[in-house]
Amino acid sequence: MAIKTYPNPDLVVGEDRRPRWNSAPARRHGFHNLHLVTRYAQSFRAAQVMDLRLSAELSIPAREDVRRLTASPWFSAMAVIEGNRLLYEAYAPDFGPDRPHSIMSISKMSTNLILGRLVEEGRVGLEERVGDILPFIGPGYANARLQDVLNMNVLNDYNEDYQDTDASVFHHEAATGMRLPAGTEPMNRDFIATIGLAPGAADTVNRSGHCLYKSANTDVLGLVAEARGGRPLSAWLADLADAAGVEGALHMATDRTGFPLFNGGICLTARDLCRYGAVFARMGQGVDGAAFGSGAFIKATLADGVPMPPPRGHLRYSNQTNTNGTWLGHGGYGGQYMVANPKTGRVACFLAVLQDEDGYDTAWYPPLIAMLSEICTGA
């Protein structure tokens, strides 16, 4: 007698061509529980936890933008730290300080730390072509310089338009355990290798004048780190948890082979997201003072990069971060943003879940970025 089954309801693709966890009615539950929803995940705990003691700065909750944004129905959490001081934190009624939240593309910043170490140690060169490091890679990356991959400065046929339900980014989900595949389940490495040149293009040179945001770039960097790093990627993640001194678990989504989803797979509490950002505020140093990233690479990150398109044209995309030359940060699909300021030592994060149809609203981010930036400069 055959055993009856049914498709996993969280991961099956619905009429809106999205898995249920990322459909508008269920997205908030999905983002609050993605470490449990995704098919495959690893988790890492720190040996030594970075102490955070409440030292409330009343000017932060007094700000009009803080009051307005934390009152949004999309709000999940906000936290601000400076060294061991917890200057501010707030949570939505259905969330809390011990709850992990998907940070989506803020995860990308971890590759700045990893590649920075590999560059400093001479294991990779920024002028190397990806195909010389990864012989299996397809034409969408083979001739691209590693520096251009880091800076989202590559033209190819990977499409990250969240309003296009047939975009490459959603097919990418099937290779990373975020949705059920239509047929045979692809592995992330195999999916990345299929990315080709942009239609009509003879090369991967970006001539647009601004960065071309592609989450696949980050997974290419993960493959480079795997090829040249001399250690499993899970070892980097264990070291990252220790360097940040996370209190809870650093959860990382993977594909079926265990390859980490650096482009958007990390889930952290708001406090631990600040601890993660503090590694950048300390210019790559862990809580024990040892280098995890590279201070020289972070300094170059602050100085370089490719202009971002409007409405973030005042920022540059540099080595898997956003920067204005003073702070480093990144946003995440669905409403997240984090800023780390090495000059002041402050880190501020905001977690949210946009429950519109697409989970993406370009107008949402500019006031959020301005608020976190000002708080981190002490304004």
Give the three-state DSSP class for 53.
strand
As given in the structure block, the two tokens for residue 169 are 């980014």
pLDDT surpasses 90 at 1: no
Average pLDDT over residues 1-15: 94
148 touches 141 (CB < 8 A)? no
Q: Given this model, what pLDDT does residue 170 score?
A: 81
Q: pLDDT tier at 15 (50, 70, 90 boundaries)?
A: confident
Q: Given this model, what pLDDT does residue 160 score?
A: 83
Q: Given this model, what pLDDT does residue 114 score?
A: 98
Q: Given this model, what pLDDT does residue 163 score?
A: 76
- The gap from C-alpha 33 to its chain's centroid, in whole angstroms, comes to 17
| Residue percentage of the chain with pLDDT more than 70 | 100
Average pLDDT over residues 74-79: 98
Average pLDDT over residues 8-23: 93
Residue range 268-326, pLDDT digits in tens: 999 999 999 999 999 999 999 999 999 999 999 999 999 999 999 999 999 999 999 99
Q: Given this model, what pLDDT does residue 101 score?
A: 98
As given in the structure block, the two tokens for residue 68 are 């307005």
Q: Which domains does the chain have, with CATH numbers?
A: 20-377 (3.40.710.10)
Q: Given this model, what pLDDT does residue 29 score?
A: 98
Residue range 117-163, pLDDT digits in tens: 999 999 999 999 999 999 999 999 999 999 999 999 999 999 888 77
| Sign for the pseudo-dihedral over CA of 6, 334, 72, 346 | positive
Q: Using a cut of 0.95, tell me whether the model's pTM lies above it.
A: yes
Q: Tell the burial category of 362 from Cβ atoms under 10 Å away from its Cβ (0-12, 13-18, 19+).
A: exposed
To the nearest 10°, report the CA torsion of 369, 280, 260, 172. Answer: 30
Range with the poorest average pLDDT among 33-47, 69-83, 165-179, 210-224:
165-179
Residue range 324-374, pLDDT digits in tens: 999 999 999 999 999 999 999 999 999 999 999 989 999 999 999 999 999
Q: pLDDT tier at 264 (50, 70, 90 boundaries)?
A: very high
Dist CA 320 CA 306 (whole Å): 11
Pairing of strands 321-323, 316-318: antiparallel
Dist CA 89 CA 91 (whole Å): 7
pLDDT surpasses 90 at 31: yes
Distances (CA, A) of 81 to 23, 106, 273, 276: 33, 17, 10, 11
Number of H helices, E strands in the chain: 13, 13
pLDDT surpasses 80 at 164: no
Q: pLDDT tier at 182 (50, 70, 90 boundaries)?
A: confident
Give the three-state DSSP class for 101.
strand
Q: pLDDT tier at 169 (50, 70, 90 boundaries)?
A: confident
Mean pLDDT estimate for the chain: 96
- Three-class DSSP labels, 134-196: CCCCCCCCCCCEHHHHHCCCECCCCCCCCCCCCCHHHHHHHCCCCCCCCCCCCCHHHHHHCCC
pLDDT surpasses 90 at 171: no
